[in-house]
Amino acid sequence: MSDNELENVDINQGQDEELASLFDPGDSSEEEAFSARPKVNGVIKFSNKADMIFYKAGSKRFFEDYSVDPTELQAFTLALTSRAKDYEWTSPTGTGILDIPESGTVLNQAQPFKTDSLLKVYGKINLDRVREYVKTWIDTESRAVQDDAMLFSAVRDSLSKDGLMRVFHRSEDYTVNGKESGVLAVKTVLDESSLTTNVTVMTLKNELTELKEIIQRMKWNILKFNEKVNMIVLNLTQQGAEAQDLVHQLLPAYLTCPDKQFTAYIQTKKNSFEDVINLTAKSLMNSAKHKYTTLNENREWQAEAETNEQHIALTTKVKVLQKEVKNLLKRGKKSPPKKGKGHFDRKRGQKDGWKMIAPKKGEPNTITVKGKEFHWCSIGNGAGRGCGCNMWTVHKPEQCKGYKKSPPSETNRNSNKKSLQVKEAVSGISNMDLESDTD
């Protein structure tokens, strides 16, 4: 039947008639086994109306305008998984076209072989392995070829214009012997959407080590937190990795919750886990979800109230410290010194800065500047013991009389004490933990 004839088929006839025709065994003399979903056994016959309806429905898009953006990857994968289950492109027995054998093997339900689902662990399966598998049936007249064609049309029509541009420039990746393959197209789309590298795996595993920070940012909303954890674990699984220490990472995160009833409940789980190793990450997350939901329904969830009280206490402490700093600075403020002996003239200081630069090795220790002779006064250049100015002076080093440093005055001691108090107060403010107010 031509493409035009396919397009003219009315697939909107009565629902009962359509479902009945799909389950009609047709030419087969054998009674068809029960199926929860409409399906066609064996090779699809385009001369058969039911087969043709089945084929067209499987070829339709399952996702609207996927732009091959990583943020939509999970939704795209879930939608494709649903279509794949309906059309048995993947199955619990691992015999669908999206169940990839360890080595190239012709699809054969009578001969079981070990497979991996491309939709579950696409990061573990490289493109060459998929290509080797597709080559075993792409040139045959089999149901696998027909399923592959349906899959290709469904994937192509599910992409947006940007998605098509990103994927279809890699046509060599999903083409075998001049034929476009739906299975290879799926692998290409998933690879283009997600960087299946060690860096990705390390990033995901690092997120699991930061669960205490994540649950705090979510204000201890256990439902949202569990969703986030499940998403990380799913991404790891699709990359061919595992979250091996998840229970040990979940328990400390849950125990940071301000709600005392909740943490007491989680503590009992932790104690039982330490006594008998029978707690899984899945069961722990389900228990936490149940307890959280129950407390909320009974209006006993106190985490938010506890957090608000902590925030008020922290804010009050900050204000007190800020006031102390302000008072200390006010008391320690001095009036600017009057000009006179010992006053440092900024302009002159910048102009005479050369006097502090020591001569380099081999350079003269006596120089003339603007008709005036200067000597480098230091112990190494002839100044007596306890003397030496370590600068250019008009007196010679041997004439240096030295100087005595006066002990710190009472005023200086008080100033130093106040400076220390200011530093301690500022440090107190800097160390305040205000992250309880973050989203």
* 235-255 confidence digits (pLDDT tens): 888 777 788 889 999 999 999
Alpha carbons 149 and 182: distance in angstroms, whole number: 6
CB-based burial label for 355 (10 Å; 0-12, 13-18, 19+) = middle
- Is residue 203 a contact partner of residue 108, using CB atoms and an 8 Å limit? no
Looking at per-residue pLDDT, the higher value among 406 and 40 belongs to 40
CB-based burial label for 193 (10 Å; 0-12, 13-18, 19+) = buried
Angle between helices 246-254 and 260-275 (to 10 degrees): 150
Inform me whether the pLDDT recorded for 74 exceeds 60.
yes
Q: What is the pLDDT of residue 60?
A: 96
Q: What is the pLDDT of residue 356?
A: 85
Q: What is the pLDDT of residue 12?
A: 38
CB-based burial label for 394 (10 Å; 0-12, 13-18, 19+) = exposed
The rounded mean pLDDT for the chain is 77
Share of the chain above pLDDT 90, in %: 41
Out of 5-19, 124-138, 178-192, 301-315, least confident range:
5-19
Alpha carbons 253 and 296: distance in angstroms, whole number: 19
Looking at per-residue pLDDT, the higher value among 210 and 201 belongs to 210
Looking at residues 397-425, what average pLDDT do you find? Answer: 57
Share of the chain above pLDDT 70, in %: 68
Confidence class for position 11, pLDDT limits 50, 70, 90: very low
- Is residue 44 a contact partner of residue 148, using CB atoms and an 8 Å limit? no
Inform me whether the pLDDT recorded for 8 exceeds 70.
no
Residue 322: its H or E element: helix 303-331
Inform me whether the pLDDT recorded for 15 exceeds 50.
no
Tell how far CA 171 is from the center of its chain. Answer: 30
Cα torsion through 33, 39, 40, 42, rounded to 10 = -70
Q: What angle (nearest 5°) sits at the alpha carbon of residue 156, between those of residues 152 and 162?
A: 150
Alpha carbons 438 and 304: distance in angstroms, whole number: 12
Please provide the DSSP assignment of 72-138 as one string. GHHHHHHHHHHHHHHTTSS-TTS-STTEEESS-----TTS---EEETTT-TTTS-HHHHHHHHHTTT
Q: What angle (nearest 5°) sits at the alpha carbon of residue 193, between those of residues 187 and 195?
A: 90
Inform me whether the pLDDT recorded for 178 exceeds 60.
yes
Looking at residues 389-396, what average pLDDT do you find? Answer: 88
**CA distances in angstroms from 286 to 138, 226, 279, 283, 347, listed in the order given:** 44, 9, 11, 5, 73
Alpha carbons 170 and 190: distance in angstroms, whole number: 13
Inform me whether the pLDDT recorded for 156 exceeds 90.
yes
Residue 151, token pair as written in the block: 């899959």
Looking at per-residue pLDDT, the higher value among 403 and 273 belongs to 273
- Would you say the C-alpha torsion 187, 190, 195, 197 has a positive or negative sign? negative
Angle between helices 49-59 and 143-158 (to 10 degrees): 40
